[in-house]
Structure 1
């Protein structure tokens, strides 16, 4: 599976830019757990990029569902930039780019729709916070993440939300959060992988689920 790199100036050959020496995700797991990951996932989360370089994944949304409460949650989240999927359409293309930035990675998700412009979702994974990994979604809101290996998949789970105002970081009470967010990255072989997002509220149950199958873009 060839990779696409988008450096600041020009594209350089993969042999010159791909180094499997990024230990930031590995360091968040015991060696035994990391060793249970398929080789393809290990390689995907061990690539070292220079600041500003980007890897591109192209895929198709295979599943998307909302409860009524989940739909309203996605609409309300537009106040802080719209970090949640807004459409339940399936079979449409989706593109994800991961750009190396100082202190973490910027993730951009482009969800196409048959009508209207695509939805663009931005977030930043930062190797910081109480668990060593957090996802910043905008307007000062971030969630702490823990990662696990389950059934040979890499799983990200939220373990708390916070609001940062200047130097102050304020934990958000459970009543002001959407519930537990889980993202699962599972390898399908042949260069393909599934990326699934699920939000479960302690009172209202499963609110949102979206999954898509991707491949790394060819140069």
Structure 2
């Protein structure tokens, strides 16, 4: 697996948004490689691209049903088990107009076109950071530092219609989403996604292993 980036050093500036969410002490406790990945801000439409491979996938039948229903609103959940051991690509582009980041996740499949997931992270809302998946649907996130990891957990889901915003009741929630960015050293990191339900337990789990190149600010 290799890493490639379209961002040049002149396109990268210091970014304190994730540090401000965590607090100075928690931020400084993270490995320096994690701080470099989340402490840079791209400008001028530049993108950074991480290449890797899906190394683990689990899904229950309720998780399968939910992932298929989610395709009606853009398909934000991994829905094809054939992505296991297939290439994975993540592209991050600064949203200059919305003061956030565009994320595109591409997961190869054994046959056919890859699954592509689009989302937008915005540094806004009651928790300070939100992720939009399309069709007006988004989730507020809580950010925490774990051992060698940056952890994102869903706080609540909402529907945005124009200037109106409606917080979805818990019974309409697809479950608790946890995304972990865990540093493995040697320029490697593990991206893990887990969706759990109070009623059915774990619904979906996916691990993707990525490599990167150190970028000094």
TM-score (norm 1): 0.92
- Per the alignment, do residues 65 and 26 of structure 1 end up closer, same or farther by CA in structure 2, a change over 3 Å counting? same
Aligned to 1:10: none
1:18 to partner: Cα distance? 2.9
Matched, 1:45 2:46: no
Distance 1:150 1:217 in 2: 22
Number of residues paired by the alignment? Answer: 210
1:3 to partner: Cα distance? 5.4
Matched, 1:100 2:127: no
Matched, 1:167 2:163: yes
Matched, 1:186 2:182: yes
The within-5 A match list for 1:144-159 is 144-159=140-155
Matched, 1:207 2:193: no
Q: Deviations over 1:98-132 (max 9, x none)?
A: 01112100000111001111111000000011111
1:17 to partner: Cα distance? 2.8
3-state DSSP of counterpart to 2:40: coil
Q: Deviations over 1:62-93 (max 9, x none)?
A: 01111000000000001101000011231110
8 Å CA contact 1:64–1:87 kept in 2: the answer is no
1:217 to partner: Cα distance? 7.1
RMSD: 1.6
Aligned to 2:5: 4
8 Å CA contact 2:73–2:134 kept in 1: the answer is yes
Matched, 1:87 2:80: yes
3-state DSSP of counterpart to 1:48: strand
